A = this chain, B = another copy of it.
Amino acid sequence: MTTVSDKTGLAPGTLIHVGQAPDTPGRITAIDYARDFLEEFEVHRVEDLLPCRQRKSITWVNIEGLNNIGFIESLGAHFDIHPLVLEDILNTHQRPKIEEHEQYLFLALKHVSIDPDELAVDYEQVSMLIFEDFVFTFRERSDDLFQPVRDRLTQEKSRLRGNGVDYLAYVILDNIVDNYFSLQDALDIILESVEEDLLAQPGPETLALIQRVKRELIFIRRSISPVREILTELLRSDSPLIQEKMHVYYRDILDHAIRLLESIDAYRDLITGMLDVYLSSVSNRMNEIMKVLTVFASIFIPLTFVAGIYGMNFEYMPELKWKWSYPVLWLFFVLVPIFLLVYFRRKKWL
């Protein structure tokens, strides 16, 4: 793993993959399509893409795995991509952002997935370059995240086939943002389980769980919140790559992003409330413990004292000689606890 501070001192624009090096080898696939044809092929060199440039078609190139630096450098050279953009694609500790360049739009986003059982959140940087008739997507992993997009492309009558790169970009973005909602579902499940814990038997591990959820919410928020800015900027910009009539679609993603962020804020408020409940349950338990101690001590300490009195060895203790002393004392031993128990019950301690 390479971290960002390892890059300190390097010339800006130096291409190094910063992030968790994936075990799987990278894979580059391209789909070249127009309304009436579709071709899918694997790409080995940038030159494989050049024929598509001639045709009046849209080409979506999906680069999975970021350790093929040679390919990315060559891509930069052929498509005249700014070195800082290439650097941002490879540096996966990037803040999600959008950049308008003359020939293309650059977007960097986070694909966030969660395993609710282990509360393990996984972040993957997904970058996108939108050219006039090319869309490049860069991913760290190889999985089926983009399968629904591919499926829809293969249907000849889908709206996707009849529209331009802006619609393709929208569908890809929408796919990523839609995935955030399964995040929300997972968080719902987790919060519910925290709540059950709180009702049942809250212990230090409940606190640890609350803190972990809080922490993950901080990081999830940080990954998702820039999506709002990105889309706002996209809608405000007058890039010729995004047609006016597409705005209604992008605004739809924006709405989803805002709703999601509001949910995350609500989750933070809820988890803070749960922390309050936990802390107060600790206090309540302390009260319980103290009540038991106080009841035991208050009942038996006075009685022990009385027993102590008649354990004294004075010669002149007339009561010791009386016949009824002992039974009367037993009566006392029985009545005092009863009286105290009634008193404590009145105080709602029992």
Chain A residues within 8 Å of B, Cβ to Cβ: 3-5, 7-13, 82, 84, 88, 93-95, 97, 99, 101, 147-148, 152, 158-160, 170-171, 174-175, 178-179, 181-182, 184-185, 201, 204, 207-208, 211, 214-215, 218-219, 222, 248-249, 251-252, 255, 258-259, 262, 266, 269-270, 273-294, 296-298, 300-305, 307-317, 319-323, 325-326, 329, 333, 347-349
Decide: A283 near B283, CB < 8 A? Known: A12-B171, A218-B269, A349-B289: yes
Cβ contacts under 8 Å, A170 to chain B: 12
In the complex the two chains form, is A312's CB within 8 Å of B314's CB? no
Cβ contacts under 8 Å, A3 to chain B: 185
Q: Which 3 A-B pairs have the closest CB atoms?
A: A307-B308, A310-B312, A9-B148
Cβ contacts under 8 Å, A266 to chain B: 218-219, 222
Question: Which of B5, B13, B148, B296 is the one whose CB lies under 8 Å from A185?
Answer: B5
Most B C-beta atoms less than 10 A away, residue of A158, A270, A311: A311
CA distance A300 to B293 in the complex (A): 12
**CB pairs A–B below 8 angstroms (18 shown):** A5-B178, A8-B148, A12-B174, A95-B258, A204-B280, A208-B277, A278-B280, A286-B287, A290-B293, A296-B298, A296-B301, A307-B311, A308-B308, A310-B313, A313-B313, A313-B320, A316-B326, A317-B326
In the complex the two chains form, is A312's CB within 8 Å of B315's CB? no
Cβ contacts under 8 Å, A211 to chain B: 273-274, 276-277
In the complex the two chains form, is A308's CB within 8 Å of B316's CB? no
New A-B pairs, 13, CB < 8 Å, besides A5-B181, A222-B266: A5-B184, A7-B178, A8-B181, A88-B252, A207-B276, A207-B280, A219-B266, A222-B262, A293-B293, A300-B304, A310-B312, A314-B325, A317-B326
Decide: A305 near B300, CB < 8 A? Known: A182-B5, A289-B291: yes
CA distance A301 to B329 in the complex (A): 19
In the complex the two chains form, is B277's CB within 8 Å of A276's CB? no
Least Cβ–Cβ distance between A271 and chain B, in angstroms: 10
CA distance A171 to B323 in the complex (A): 93
In the complex the two chains form, is A298's CB within 8 Å of B307's CB? no
In the complex the two chains form, is A290's CB within 8 Å of B297's CB? no
Least Cβ–Cβ distance between A91 and chain B, in angstroms: 10
Decide: A289 near B292, CB < 8 A? Known: A259-B95, A270-B215: no
In the complex the two chains form, is B284's CB within 8 Å of A204's CB? yes
Cβ contacts under 8 Å, A10 to chain B: 148
Question: Which of B276, B297, B311 is the one whose CB lies under 8 Å from A311?
Answer: B311
Question: Which of B97, B219, B292, B303 is the one whose CB lies under 8 Å from A298?
Answer: B292
Cβ contacts under 8 Å, A5 to chain B: 178, 181-182, 184-185
Question: Which of B282, B291, B301 is the one whose CB lies under 8 Å from A300?
Answer: B301
Least Cβ–Cβ distance between A178 and chain B, in angstroms: 4
Cβ contacts under 8 Å, A185 to chain B: 3, 5
Least Cβ–Cβ distance between A115 and chain B, in angstroms: 15
Cβ contacts under 8 Å, A160 to chain B: 11
In the complex the two chains form, is A287's CB within 8 Å of B290's CB? no
CA distance A13 to B152 in the complex (A): 13
Question: Which of B215, B283, B304 is the one whose CB lies under 8 Å from A286?
Answer: B283
Least Cβ–Cβ distance between A238 and chain B, in angstroms: 18
